[in-house]
Chain A
């Protein structure tokens, strides 16, 4: 029984290899778009995680703050529920850091009469409070204190990353769906042609009492194989894109194995479902 299905499916692929390839390629492209997005989303996620770890709020202090006032301010901030650690950076330390990090300006800094850099308090947040909203809230609270001149945090670009991810997701879903629709239509045509090519056989199968399931099976198998081939193609394309971009433009992390395998299986499933739907329309179910 399985032998018959396999032989017939291979026969069908041989009869119309062009259409089978077209079906596989369209499924492949559809999943490639989703795969690329998956790759980007995964890497953005990783970046966000490491960025969030480094998310801190920096409060710049006025020069006229006294030691006692500094102590009180630090204790206050440390008592916030969101705050993990508080570090004081003096004017002197700020200058030293600047001279270390910005070597080009070392000369300029050394020539200065007075130190223009403000002292600051670096506030580290607890892991649960590193999302943009809670960072902003803590920053606002700190800004109310006297002697705090300015509060900075990486809100702008954290927000931007989140926004980009949402936009990229929407674009990928729309493109992926468009390709999937094209893939389904092409598979529909493939199935219709395969049914036509095997019309005589199907009539005889019905005549001698073959079950509907048996009649359908070779077509479904063909859809499954085509879909899996598409899934594999998508995997190769996505990996190719990863290989091109990784290292040369930015450093990327390859997808977890489960995602890649899921993508290839999704191709098989897509092929199977599209064939099933097409069969429903093209196999004349009476007779």
Chain B
């Protein structure tokens, strides 16, 4: 479903950010992407989101390939791939509900569908009561919930989460992590970048892909038979 094949990414000034990265994230799978700061985690997520293209190698996402993807097709890909960040990236001058409605409006949703869908999503992330609150009136955890709801707005096949608990206290972090697990258990694959090794160790049932200096140094999913794993959680 998501496949990186021999991916290299070079930046003009900082040099090689990724070196020969290959892995296959299966449908509905949950995987951690770990490694120290600067290892290349965010770069991988941006490549999957096709915000950037690999210098060499290929990134395949749900039928799209970085090798032949045209500019015009990027928006369609983006609707298959939800993304959240450490800094929630909400529009400060809009309420929680308006932030979600905005994402629907700008992707051409019909006006009469928007309200119901926004309410359903807010309920799904446990924020039905805070629909009218502005980001500054919400806690960090609540803001990240809004961002998660926004990422789910087009029923993506995968949720990319770049250090989603990085800015949260422990209680809020746990809440967000549980929400990610809920999302995953309803069928959406999750690829979560984190440098929190304690968290990774706590959930040995999830796959771990570890990076160091742009290369995959450990992948707990390797060796698993693809056809077997495709049906799993």
Contacts and interface: CB of A to CB of B under 8 A. Distances in A.
A4 B111 CA distance: 10
Nearest to B81: A209
B50 to A, nearest CB: 9
Nearest to A207: B83
A208 B106 CA distance: 8
A204 B103 contact: yes
Query: By CB atoms of chain B within 10 A, which of A3, A201, A215, A285 has the most?
Result: A201
Interface stretch (B10-18, B25-33, B70-78): B70-78
Contacts of B106: 4, 204-205, 208, 210, 214-215
Contacts, number: 55
B84 to A, nearest CB: 10
Contact of A209 (B75, B91, B111): B75
Interface in B85-130: 89, 91-92, 102-103, 105-108, 111
B134 to A, nearest CB: 14
Interface string B151-194: 00110000000000000000000000000000000000000000
A208 B78 contact: yes
A248 interface: no
A212 interface: yes
Contacts of A1: 105, 108
Given A204-B102, A285-B71, A286-B51, A209 B89 contact: no
B150 interface: yes
A209 B51 contact: no
Interface in A226-262: none
A62 interface: no
A200 interface: yes
A3 B111 contact: yes
A164 interface: no
Contacts of B75: 209-212
A166 interface: no
A207 B89 contact: yes
A204 B89 CA distance: 8
A212 B105 contact: no
B91 to A, nearest CB: 6
Contacts of A208: 78-79, 103, 106-107, 150, 153-154
A104 interface: no
Interface in A1-53: 1, 3-4
Contacts of A212: 71-72, 75
Query: By CB atoms of chain B within 10 A, which of A201, A203, A204, A214 has the most?
Result: A204
A54 B213 CA distance: 92
Contacts of A214: 106-108
Nearest to B89: A204
A206 interface: yes
A212 to B, nearest CB: 7
B30 to A, nearest CB: 22
Given A210-B106, A210-B107, A214-B106, A204 B91 contact: yes
Nearest to B154: A209
A113 interface: no
A223 B106 CA distance: 20
A41 B71 CA distance: 48
A107 interface: no
Contacts of B108: 1, 211, 214
A287 interface: yes
A204 B150 CA distance: 10
A209 B78 contact: yes
A203 B89 contact: yes
Nearest to B106: A210
Interface in A192-225: 200-201, 203-212, 214-215
Interface of A: 1, 3-4, 200-201, 203-212, 214-215, 285-287
Interface of B: 51-52, 71-72, 74-79, 83, 89, 91-92, 102-103, 105-108, 111, 150, 153-154
Closest 8 CB pairs of A and B: A209-B78, A209-B79, A210-B106, A208-B103, A209-B75, A211-B75, A205-B106, A4-B105
